[in-house]
A = this chain, B = another copy of it.
Amino acid sequence: MSITFADPKPLSHAELEEGTAFAPRFDASGLVTAVTTEAGSGRVLMVAHMNAEALALTLQTGEVHYWSRSRARIWKKGESSGEIQKLIEMRTDCDQDVVLLTVEQTGRGAACHTGRKSCFYRIVEVQDGTAKLTDSGEPRLFDPKAVYGA
C-alpha cells in the first residue's frame, strides 16, 4: 500500500481550509513541520519535520517517521534509542503546512535525545534585559552517552 496525498496548488483557499483533501503544503525543501504530543497528557514532546515519504510511512506503519534535516535521510523515531512513537492520531492545520501528532511514546518515554520526556525542558525568563534559560527540572529517563555513545 502506498498512500497518496492531494496537490494543494489547484485547491481554492476554501478547499484548502475547509475541505476533505489532505494536501500537505510542503516548503521549498519538501517538508512540513510536525508537532508531536503525548497521548493522555497532551504535552508537546518535540517538533521535527516530515517529507512526503515520512508522512506516508507514518500513516502506513503506525510508527512515526521524520525527515532528519541534519542527516538528510528518513529517520524512524526510536531506531537507535528504542523510543518508538506509536501514532494515535494525526491532524493538520488550517493552511495544511503543519501536522499535529498524538503519539504513545514507548521505550522509557523519552522523546528527546537528551534523555528527557520532552525537548522543552528550559523556560525563557528575562533577567535585567537579557533572556535566560531556567531548567524546568524535567528528569532524564536515559543516559544519552549510554544510548548513543559518547
Contact = CB atoms under 8 A, between A and B. Distances in A.
A130 interface: yes
Interface string A84-126: 0000011111100011100000000000111000011111101
Contact of A123 (B2, B91, B126): B91
Which size bracket describes the interface of A in this complex? 35 or more
Number of identical protomers: 2
A79 B141 CA distance: 42
Contacts of A136: 91
Given A100-B44, A126-B59, A120 B91 contact: yes
Interface of A: 1-5, 17-22, 33, 35, 37, 41-44, 46-47, 55, 59-60, 89-94, 98-100, 112-114, 119-124, 126, 129-134, 136
